[in-house]
A and B are shown apart, each in its own frame.
Chain A
Amino acid sequence: MTTATPPVMTVSNATIWRSFAHAEWIKLRTVRSTMYTLLAAAVIAIGICAIACQHLVSDLSGATIPLKGEFLVNPTDPNRSLVGTIVAQLAIGALGVLVVTSEYATGMIRASLCAMPQRLRWISAKFAVFTAVALVVGQVLTFTSFGIGQAILHIRHVGLSLGDPGALRIVVASGLYIALVGIMGAALGLIVKHTAGALVSLIAILFVLPGIISGAFSEPLQGHIMRFLPQNVGEQSITIARMSDHFSTWAGIALMVGYVAVLIAIGSALLRRRDA
């Protein structure tokens, strides 16, 4: 262990960036609500998935099994085991919002910028840390949901395994989608600064926009527009079959990455200019 303070002027940019990321990692870990939010996301997402699959199983066990055509046509539609992503995306999105807006709400932004005055370097470190966490959490959630859900379906021999065509794709993609919604929340937090405002913007983009567009446009224009919405990307990300009016799974994920990149760019530009 070195005890001497390193000569400050010779510290490399990469070292400084790592220090900033380390600080942001400590910040993320040391607020209880982070853990609660993640735990809630996991419990709800996996719980909903288990309930949905259980429901499907009990339907299949009834006397009317042969009449359950929709299940028999596609008895292993795995999105049953990934419906929890809808709730999980909100929880991670809210966490993303809070990671940034709590800086402003608590006045901590001043301490952060006094310690880390190179603002773009700071915000990139903050986003990198949150992105890493969101990616891991997203994958853990979707793999666990899939595993538990399909295990329940296996009782009726209608479960899928990861080796089945398209299964791995939707598990990975829906995990990515959850993470991207989280980062979108953080980017909106950077732009709006206020928790409530950023949360409302996120919910509006995810859930209100589809309603507005379907009300305002008629087919086929409606479908062409709807495919650009995060909601449709999310739907396709949990579905093996290619849905109409949706981009393909990976094109949709790429689109989300693009949206998030634009929002981060706007937020960073504002951060550079604004008084803290």
Chain B
Amino acid sequence: MKVEAKLLLGLGLFFGLMCAVYWNWSLENAGGVMMFAGMLLGFLPGAYFYWWSRRMPVRPEDDPYATQAQGAGVVGSFPGTSIWPFVLGMGAFFVVLALVFGIWFLVPGLALVTWAALGGTAEGRRGGHV
């Protein structure tokens, strides 16, 4: 966890520095804003990792002397196969076609998206802790 946190915070710090130099020097706003957002992308998850790294015991994957047995237990529980990503993808496809060929494509598009959202959620519930 510590390395992950340092990595993201370090990137955020560097982007922040670059942003400060660039914005003050160029006075160009588009790039300044985008670099500022880049800095946040480093700081927000970085801070989250940092917060947790101080409150969690060392994970086996962060322990250089961990044995494989320490990883024993259930990693997670996932749907083995699922049709919902396909349905959702087709829904998104029709929504995009609506941008090009006309608004009525939204009908099948949104119907598929909704169906996939409901189906996928129900499937996730059945699967226990996803």
Partners in one complex: no
| Residues of A near any B CB (own CB < 8 A) | none
| Residues of B near any A CB (own CB < 8 A) | none
